[in-house]
Chain A
Amino acid sequence: GAVVSQHPSWVICKSGTSVKIECRSLDFQATTMFWYRQFPKQSLMLMATSNEGSKATYEQGVEKDKFLINHASLTLSTLTVTSAHPEDSSFYICSARDGRGPNGYTFGSGTRLTVV
């Protein structure tokens, strides 16, 4: 089956530093990947949609200069949280379209980001 690997699974960083999260499709090519954010006991909120070789499409209210998304290959998308602040602490999850029809969304295991 389709597998998406997300790294790191957790990270702690200091305020003001940048953190990069990687999302890799291991056994399929993903032309479209999605990045979500989940606050405790809340829904998964879509941050942006990334398409291979083009600029990401950000949802309303998401700062594109703060959350940099790069989808340079068909198997890798990265999310960089720049100049992180404590309010950026959250659970970030990526998802990839795996070409298996309407059900074909494969999710990574998520990254717990804590900014201190």
Chain B
Amino acid sequence: DQQVKQNSPSLSVQEGRISILNCDYTNSMFDYFLWYKKYPAEGPTFLISISSIKDKNEDGRFTVFLNKSAKHLSLHIVPSQPGDSAVYFCAGSAGTASKLTFGTGTRLQVTL
């Protein structure tokens, strides 16, 4: 049972353009969502998060949008840079100190 899904396994975006990564979830108990960036053979690095009581959170070039009724969230990166090329995972958590449930990941390639 995949509670968190990222339906696009890969995405290619030109440098300077906007990257939009999508994530869908089924678990209504999730009250916090996080986005991580991951390089091969390394641990994930935290990017940005959003509480379920909000619909938007912004941090520099990164913005996360949450549509709770649709159980959908998205990560916007603008402008995209070549250094953003990595695999991005969304994750949900239900309650403080609870485990994270990760999505399947989207590989972003930012081209020159």
Tell me the chain A residues, 19-39 only, with Cβ under 8 Å from chain B: 32, 34, 36
CB of A105 within 8 A of CB of B42, answer: no
CB of B97 within 8 A of CB of A32, answer: yes
Point out the residue from A43, A49, A110 that lies within 8 Å of B43, measured CB to CB. Answer: A110
Interface presence of B102 (CB below 8 A) = yes
Give A42's nearest chain B residue, CB to CB. B104
Point out the residue from B41, B43, B101 that lies within 8 Å of A107, measured CB to CB. Answer: B43
Which residues on B sit within 8 Å (CB–CB) of A10? 41
Point out the residue from A44, A93, A103, A109 that lies within 8 Å of B49, measured CB to CB. Answer: A103
Q: For the complex formed, measure the closest distance between the CB of B75 and the CB atoms of chain A, giving whole angstroms.
A: 15
Interface presence of A112 (CB below 8 A) = yes
A contacts with B, residue count (CB < 8 A) = 26
CB of A103 within 8 A of CB of B34, answer: yes
Which residues on A sit within 8 Å (CB–CB) of B45? 107
Which residues on A sit within 8 Å (CB–CB) of B105? 41-43
The answer for the CA separation of A32 and B44 in the assembled complex, in Å, is: 18
Give the contact-size bracket for chain B: 20 to 34
The answer for the CA separation of A91 and B39 in the assembled complex, in Å, is: 13
The answer for the CA separation of A113 and B104 in the assembled complex, in Å, is: 21
Q: For the complex formed, measure the closest distance between the CB of B56 and the CB atoms of chain A, giving whole angstroms.
A: 16
Evaluate whether A49 and B99 lie within 8 angstroms (CB atoms) in the complex, with A42-B104, A110-B43 already known. Answer: yes
Evaluate whether A110 and B34 lie within 8 angstroms (CB atoms) in the complex, with A44-B102, A46-B99, A103-B49 already known. Answer: no
Point out the residue from A9, A44, A108, A109 that lies within 8 Å of B89, measured CB to CB. Answer: A44
The answer for the CA separation of A96 and B104 in the assembled complex, in Å, is: 21
CB of B100 within 8 A of CB of A34, answer: yes
Which residues on B sit within 8 Å (CB–CB) of A42? 104-105
Which residues on A sit within 8 Å (CB–CB) of B42? 109-110
